[in-house]
Amino acid sequence: MEGCDHDGRAVLSSAEKTTVTATAVTIVCRFQLERAAGRMKVTLSRRRQRLLLQRVLDAPDCVTSSEAVLQLCFAIGCGVLPRSTPRWWMRRRTGGTWEDLRLCGNARDDYFQEKLCMSRRVFMEISEACAPLLQRQVTFYREPLPPEQIVAYALYRWAIGESYDINTSSFGIGRASGMLAVRDVTNALLRFYGDRISWPTGVRKHVVLRAFLDKGFPNCHGAVDCTHIYVDKPTNAPGENYFDHKHRFSVIAQVVVDLDLRVLDVFVGYPGSCHDIRVIQLSSLSRCAEEGVFFRGPPVTLPGGVRTNGYILGDNGYPPSKWVVVPYGGINQHPDEERFNTK
């Protein structure tokens, strides 16, 4: 039992002291046994490894194989055997599309073509041109996105066509930042490259006319067609206006290109339910063509007795006119008509 001394302090009895001492000794002994068992396991493991290695070395072909491997490594290190530049045999797992685009390697051009539909050289050219307008200031709360990442995301958004909720995560940005990046890159491209979309003049015009002449179309400047750009239905707009023949919401882009697929004219924005004829009638292309802005060459006579100063090629979705040449219609066609349609 516990007692008290003259100063009032608790004093353990002899039996209690014996119990405490036995408990402490038991804990110390158990700890020593566990530590000894651990050392023994390590020793046995090392011994088994040495025995296994010795058996492998005692094999008759081991020495010869080891020497062959050493000689091959020495030859590669000395440059005797040429080493091809390694390529990615499996795409690296990184932080997303943007991190993959930043990686160095000879496979990155393929990755740029896949994700941005352009080479790395073209991407760097666009990034350097747009960087002054995309540079953000460092704030107290965060560091801004680099201009290269902003341009890469906008190009990826246009090339892939995924929603903002899906593709922003692969670039490590939020949905609002993605929408802002697309808007800013669009304005930058229109400012620095707006003059790239223009009707050919001078030497370039003669090159285009000569190329189409060699194909059998004298005085031809290009080809026109429409494509649908899928969008979310605009707010407070009638859904039937944007619902196209593929049962999706879209707007129409009318594009004119030359023989090298260089874009000469773009007219975009009409709802997807509009027909190609209606779009070309409402476009600036029709107005300029009727006013003689584009086609001013010397008149030529086409097969069929059509006399024109210049024209573009279209499909059967367009009506024939003085400046739009379309294929012959009908089923029973003359061989010359079939040949013309094939061209």
210 with 315, same domain: the answer is yes
178 with 249, same domain: the answer is no
248 with 299, same domain: the answer is yes
151 with 219, same domain: the answer is no
Tens of pLDDT, residue by residue, the chain (343 residues): 455 555 555 555 677 778 777 777 777 787 777 778 778 877 877 777 677 666 656 656 555 556 666 666 666 666 555 555 555 544 444 457 888 787 766 556 788 888 888 888 899 999 999 999 888 777 666 778 889 999 999 999 888 877 788 888 888 888 888 899 999 999 999 998 888 888 888 899 899 999 998 988 888 999 999 999 888 888 888 888 888 888 888 899 999 999 888 899 999 989 999 999 999 999 999 998 888 888 887 788 776 677 788 899 999 888 888 889 899 887 788 888 888 888 8
Q: Answer for the pair 285, 295: CB distance below 8 angstroms, yes or no.
A: no
210 with 334, same domain: the answer is yes
213 with 188, same domain: the answer is no
Residues in the chain: 343
Q: CA 20 to CA 32: how far, in whole Å?
A: 19
For 241, the token pair is 């206006």
279 with 260, same domain: the answer is yes
Q: pLDDT value at position 155?
A: 92
| Residue at a domain's end among 193, 218, 245 | 193
Contacts with 164 (C-beta within 8 Å, 6 or more apart), sequence order? 157, 175, 178, 179
pTM attached to this predicted model: 0.60
| Residue at a domain's end among 176, 193, 210 | 193
Q: pLDDT value at position 9?
A: 55
CA atoms within 13 A on the CB side of 70: 6
Q: pLDDT value at position 255?
A: 95
Q: Does the residue 109 lie in any domain?
A: yes
Q: Does the residue 70 lie in any domain?
A: no
Q: Does the residue 178 lie in any domain?
A: yes
227 with 303, same domain: the answer is yes
Q: Answer for the pair 220, 209: CB distance below 8 angstroms, yes or no.
A: yes
207 with 123, same domain: the answer is no
Q: Does the residue 114 lie in any domain?
A: yes
Q: pLDDT value at position 75?
A: 60
Amino acid letter, residue 170? S
Q: Does the residue 224 lie in any domain?
A: yes
Q: Does the residue 270 lie in any domain?
A: yes
Q: pLDDT value at position 127?
A: 92
For 190, the token pair is 């229109």
Tell me how many domains the chain contains: 2
Q: pLDDT value at position 320?
A: 83
Q: H helices within 215-294, ranges in order?
A: 239-242, 276-282, 284-290
| Residue at a domain's end among 138, 159, 193 | 193
Sign of CA dihedral 292, 258, 313, 305: positive
Q: Answer for the pair 108, 94: CB distance below 8 angstroms, yes or no.
A: no
Q: Does the residue 242 lie in any domain?
A: yes
Q: What angle do CA 200, 201, 207 make, to 5 degrees?
A: 70
Q: Does the residue 333 lie in any domain?
A: yes
Instruction: Give the domain range for residue 332.
Output: 202-342
Q: pLDDT value at position 92?
A: 47
176 with 215, same domain: the answer is no
